[in-house]
Structure 1
């Protein structure tokens, strides 16, 4: 098994890279998706979030009000730390289960937004960073996700810097350009991963 960490700043295009890698045959373990699952209604995760932040972070139907919680934690580093302390261990446990089920010959890509922030690079055989200039990220967040410029800058500021992410990268995918250029790079990275996995199985 080849364990790959995939990360990138918000708006860099990591989700698109993840989707393309899955299409080539990677087993993708999506930390964001798992983070949503572990705080669904009826889970211990949601109970812990409500205990920490109050029932006001719930919608009328009892699900987590993500925009409201986001506005609380991204404006307050201490509250963000509290939320991460609840969610990250639950995500880690579920990710380990999915990885174990993938099989010994799999290329397992862990899609982890906060890989650099949480010092997780040593957990993987290599790290792929999807990189985009801060101006590109900002334009995508405002143009595609409907954030205000202030909201977008706050989300970006809550993450690692571009330099911090690049410092942990084994391979870098530059996503400042068009989708066609991204697909070409992801194909090349996939070939690299397949070769590394084959080498590892021989050793």
Structure 2
């Protein structure tokens, strides 16, 4: 069984090409069994799925916005950005931007639009305190994450090493306690 990756996508480009892709996606949703499978788009645009291309994913919440197409993507293991780059390459102006996370394999990836700033989160914080209190937050700046950890733990956090030290101290007395600070890698 695969670990599922949750991603949010936005496709940008010329309005006519956005309309064409949106129309294709909505038509596939209606016509095909498992119509929102990414492989259906690749097959419709290319005739077949290239051997190197991984397409194991399904979109939902498809919306045509003023300057983009947006949707949620659930895929196996990774955000499928190579598949969406391939799909966009079939049009002259389309580009894909996304943020995706698959916590089981610690996959945290994103590609943000330099001007739109749709996916500004750079860090994901996951905490289970020794008192079994759970906290999950996203941050743009690492210093904001450190301040948040300080507030929860009442411990001074200057660097990631301080987090590791706190993790070690917690795990000695409370093996289920943890602090994970993940950084989204830009691709």
Q: What is the TM-score normalised by the length of structure 2? A: 0.24
Identify the structure with bigger relative contact order (alpha carbons < 8 Å, sequence gap 6+): 1
In proportion to residue count, which structure has more helix? 1
Greater C-alpha radius of gyration:
2
- Structure 1 or 2: more strand by fraction: 2
Q: Normalization by structure 1: what TM-score? A: 0.23
